[in-house]
Amino acid sequence: MPLSVAVAGASGYAGGELLRLLAAHPDFHIKTVTAHSNAGEPLIHVQPHLRSLAGLMLEETSVETLEGHDVVFLALPHGKSGALTAGLSSDTLVIDCGADHRLESAEDWAAFYEGEYFGAWTYGLPELVHGDGTKQRSLIEGAKRIAVPGCNVTAITLGLAPAIQAGAIEADDVVAVLAVGPSGAGKNLKTEYLAAEIMGSASAYAVGGVHRHNPEIRQNFRKAGATEVNISFTPMLVPMSRGILATSTARLAPGASAASIEAAFEQAYGNEPFVHLMPPAEFPRTADTLGANTALIGFAVDESAGRLVTITALDNLVKGTAGAAIQSANIALGLDETAGLGVNGVAP
């Protein structure tokens, strides 16, 4: 019998992507969808591409509405899920796509977010390699509360963690510049996200170490075995609706080589269904990941600069959010990890 599912924040981009993927999942049945300002409307009015779910009505987001389901996915603004989930049964699997439960440090939360700190949940990045060679996947198995990583964090972490774990790079000298589609900011009616402002232009934002994903990236690098972490991370808004292309560089450790780095990536991702290493001298495009739960990674060693350069492409709404949430739910429930998720993108 399919497991009953509720999706909170179903009117947004992340919520809509969760529903698109869940609609084809063989083990889940979408029973309830909720929203805030759109409550009371048919789902199809705000997500007109979800034709198979036209019979669903958006309900108020509350503990009463969400309780009683086998699985609850939260796609709410940051700071909105902590108090809500405290009222849900411990038997319910709850997957939070927001930031409320990602950070293990209350001090980091206070420095980058507002409001009450609700504590860390099991981190939902299965492919994250730990310093001892294990992976985050083993901690997700059987978990009942899972926090999905930030999309930028996923791109940078997957691009560098294996090299950190192998001791091939110095994590105290990392620079990352990301080209990011505006859907990562949600359905915010702000001037900087208007088509007239974005088309034909690229612009940096959250410059100077102020982006909220900074502490989460550092947290992941420490999990991968780094003792000292120093990263300069700059995202750039570019005119594509979805996708991330992350260029991440780090100083090579003494004795590191292209061969040893390739071996580290093969060891980490050789058997992963959703993280794929590109052939030598080939680099990914965001277009090849659209709609797919894949992260594609290419790398080069800049001998003259003594640095590793990795290029990671992913769809911020799939592997960066909704796909990661469903992948983690599959693992937690003991289902086929790939259920409901694909590796084929949409082209052109």
Question: Which residues belong to the active site?
Answer: 151
Tokens standing for 211?
């982006």
d(CA 256, CA 169): 7
Q: Say how many CA atoms lie within 13 Å of 112 toward its Cβ.
A: 21
Query: Any residues with CB less than 8 A from the CB of 58 and at least 6 apart, and which?
Result: 10, 11, 33, 34, 35, 38, 39, 40, 41, 42, 43, 46
For 25, which DSSP code? -
* DSSP-derived pairing of the beta strands 275-277 and 3-8: unpaired
Under DSSP, the state recorded for 300 is: E
Residue 255: CA count within 13 A, CB half-sphere? 2
How many CA atoms lie within 13 Å of 2's alpha carbon, on the beta-carbon side? Answer: 15
Backbone angles phi, psi at 320, to 5 degrees: -80, -15
